[in-house]
Amino acid sequence: MADTKNGRKKQADDENRRGDEVPDSLPECHRRGCTKRATFVVLERYQEETGHGAVEAEAVLCQEHTDEESPTNLDSSYADYVFRVEPLQEPQDMETA
């Protein structure tokens, strides 16, 4: 898409439409049997056992299960190893101004 005024407007309009598609509520916790709302996403990137690439494990979890998380694949860590916990974005109607 060309970098013109109309092109930028179309990109902004497309982004607004995507933003309108945000679900009404947060997803459920990924842990089996837990029906609480997920509030965090936990990501761990580590080296595959064969050494031929990276593996990314990601889960959305409630507060309680996020508290229990810790790195589990440190023996497969490498230069781009990641263990990250980030809050999920709340739906727009739940945000406080």
Convert the pLDDT of each residue in 23-82 to its tens digit: 557 899 999 999 999 999 999 999 988 878 899 999 999 999 999 999 988 988 888 999
Rounded Cα distance between 73 and 57, Å, is 10
Helices (runs of H) and strands (runs of E) counted in the chain: 2, 3
Rounded Cα distance between 20 and 25, Å, is 13
pLDDT of 9-30, one tens digit each?
666 666 655 555 545 578 999 9
What's the predicted TM-score (pTM) here?
Answer: 0.62
